[in-house]
Amino acid sequence: MKRLKINTWTGVLDIVNCVLFAASWFVIFGSAFSDATSGGNTTDSAATFFYAMAWIGVVVNIIALIQSKRHGISLVGSVLGVIGSALFGITAAMAFPAMIVLIIAAVFIMLQHPSKNYNTGSTN
C-alpha cells in the first residue's frame, strides 16, 4: 500500500494547529487586555490568524480525506481532523476539545492503515 505525503503533512499541520490553539488563549486574552488598557483594536487581527489556520486545517484535511479514500486508506484521521479544525473554526471557546480531537486525528492519519473494505488484490 502506498503511503501518501498529503497524510503526513496533514498530520503535521494538525499538530501545529494544536500548539497554535493552545497559544491562542494567551494571545487573544493578552491582546484583549492590552486593547482594554490602550483603546486599540488588535484582538480582531490576532483572532483572525487563528481562525484562518483552523479553516486551512479543515481544507487540508478534506483534501487528505479525498486522497485517502482514493487509495484505500482509513478515513478516521482525516474525519477527526476536519471535526477538530472545524470546532476551533466555529468558535475559539472550543479550543480545548479541538486540541484533543486533533491529537487523536494526527495519530490516526500518520498511521495510514488500509481501510477495512479496501480490496488489496490478493486472492486467498
Three-state SS at 18: helix
Q: Which domain holds residue 24?
A: 5-33+41-111
User: pLDDT band at 124, cuts 50/70/90?
Assistant: very low
120, part of any domain: no
pLDDT at residue 39 in the model? 62
> At residue 73, what are phi and psi to the nearest 5 degrees?
-100, 145
How many structural domains compose the chain?
Answer: 1
Q: What is the mean pLDDT of residues 55-71?
A: 95
117, part of any domain: no
Q: Is there a contact between 88 and 25 (Cβ–Cβ < 8 Å)?
A: no
Tens digit of each residue's pLDDT (9 = 90 or more) over 94-122: 999 999 999 999 999 999 888 877 665 55
- In angstroms, the CA 50 to CA 58 distance is 13
119, part of any domain: no
68, part of any domain: yes
Cα→Cα distances 40→13, 33, 34, 51, Å: 32, 10, 8, 20
Conformational region of residue 34, where left means phi above 0, alpha means psi within -120 to 50, and beta covers everything else:
alpha
> At residue 74, what are phi and psi to the nearest 5 degrees?
-55, 140
- In angstroms, the CA 114 to CA 108 distance is 11
Tens digit of each residue's pLDDT (9 = 90 or more) over 11-61: 999 999 999 999 988 887 787 777 666 666 656 777 889 999 999 999 999
47, part of any domain: yes
77, part of any domain: yes
48, part of any domain: yes
Indicate whether 79 pLDDT > 90. Answer: yes
116, part of any domain: no
